[in-house]
Amino acid sequence: MALPTSVGPFSAVCLGRSRPTQPAWARTPPRTMPPAPVPAQSQPTRAQIGSPQHSPAKLSAGGAGWGGACSTGYMEITVAVGQLDPTEDAARNWEVGFTLARRAAEAGAEVLVLPEQAMLVQHPGDPQRFADLAAAAWAWWPQALRDAAGELSLGIVAGGFAPPGSGGDGRAPGSSAADAPGDARPFNVLVAVDPAGELEYCQAKTKLYDAFDFRESGMVRPGAGDSRPVQLAGVRFGLVNCYELRFPELARRLVGLGAEALCISAAWVRGPAKEDHWVTLARARAIENSAYVLAAGTRAEDTIGRSMVIDPGGVVIAGLADEPQGIAVAQLDTARLRAVRERTRSAPEPPAVS
């Protein structure tokens, strides 16, 4: 199956079907991608992909508690975070990402969070070349994500780069109303797709990483507007994009709007004490909001990996170290969530359900 060049209607795969075999388009580079002015790209073999999978961590259920009703009552779902080593070869990155998604589905996961830059690595350099790479990949990547989610009955959150004017309304979601003419910089976006393969949400990053001697705004443009929770597999997730982790008010707002878990997709850059920052900030967002945190990080040359799942009490219940590729699996238990919120009373009250 060749990858389509636009996001169109999707016929959902029934949840009750057995896991399908890997489709042809996930085994080979897309054949319908428009050419981009970039060097020839190599493809990895299957033997080069994958790392030992972490065993699921089971949580004990707590009693009913404070903080608003769960989306569909008390429930448990299996979730996973994926870690990969993206390159400038988007087809190769997709090969790895699909392999992680298939492994997550085989482990029983209903939701998988992949990192920022899962579509394409972002290095400082030539902004126009990066814009060309992003435009070529975005032509097929959102539909590939939808197809994979439907094939595997798996909700997926993943990071990509959307060219200006590529949203359903003719613009990238979350973009500013006034674009500079001739500015080809893409938006850094998180895309959420439900287990039926339907595109649920696409949010542009609002806080760009212009810090620690790095200038992300030279390569991508900021989004505008506030994000909202998205429902996947019956649970409400708030999306946080890398550097936005350092702004607690963003996560707090999402939980106030009803988020029960936070998906943090990142390419966390190495540096003195930066691993401590990543772990401390992610755990803080879980503790202060009494929310699950699914933190997925890239493991490239200059990024740390360290993907993890954190429970509402701030305990890391599953995680990865610095392996280039892998998944970590855990149970998300809304009874546990309610019990922690009842005890701590620190989470903002979500809006009443009418």
> Which residues have C-beta within 8 Å of that of residue 243, sequence separation ≥ 6?
205, 207, 208, 209, 211, 216
Residue 44 maps to a domain: no
Burial 311-327 (b: 16+ CB within 10 A, else e): bbbbebbbbbeeebbbb
State how far the Cα of 238 lies from the Cα of 348, in Å rounded to an integer. 14
Residue 47 maps to a domain: no
How is residue 22 annotated by DSSP? P
Domain that holds residue 172: 52-344
Beta-carbon count within 10 A of 151 CB: 21
Residue 297 maps to a domain: yes
Residue 37 maps to a domain: no
Q: In what order do the strands lie in the sheet with 308-310?
A: 230-232, 235-241, 261-266, 292-297, 308-310, 316-319
Residue 88 maps to a domain: yes
Looking at the structure of the chain, the number of domains it has is 1
Residue 90 maps to a domain: yes
pLDDT at residue 326, rounded to an integer:
98
pLDDT at residue 175, rounded to an integer:
46
DSSP letter for each residue of 133-201: HHHHHHTTHHHHHHHHHHHHT-EEEEEEEEPTT-STTSS-TT--S-PPTT--PPEEEEEEE-TTS-EEE
pLDDT at residue 181, rounded to an integer:
63
Q: What is the CATH number of the domain that holds 265?
A: 3.60.110.10
> Which residues have C-beta within 8 Å of that of residue 158, sequence separation ≥ 6?
97, 113, 114, 115, 118, 119, 145, 190, 191, 265
State how far the Cα of 5 lies from the Cα of 2, in Å rounded to an integer. 9
pLDDT tens digit sequence for 166-215: 763 334 444 444 455 678 899 999 999 999 999 999 999 998 988 888 88
Residue 14 maps to a domain: no
State how far the Cα of 329 lies from the Cα of 108, in Å rounded to an integer. 9
Beta-carbon count within 10 A of 298 CB: 31
Containing 125, the helix (H) or strand (E) segment is none
Residue 323 maps to a domain: yes
pLDDT at residue 353, rounded to an integer:
52
Q: Which residues are catalytic?
A: 116, 205, 242
Q: Hey, what amino acid is at 190?
A: L
Tell me the whole-structure pTM to 2 decimals: 0.78
287 dihedral zone (left: phi>0; alpha: psi -120 to 50; beta): alpha
Question: If DSSP codes are grouped into helix, strand and coil, which group holds residue 107?
Answer: coil
pLDDT at residue 215, rounded to an integer:
84
State how far the Cα of 290 lies from the Cα of 334, in Å rounded to an integer. 11
Whose tokens are 């972490």? That residue is 54
Enumerate residue ranges in the chain where pLDDT < 70. 1-73, 167-181, 350-354
pLDDT at residue 347, rounded to an integer:
85
How is residue 230 annotated by DSSP? E
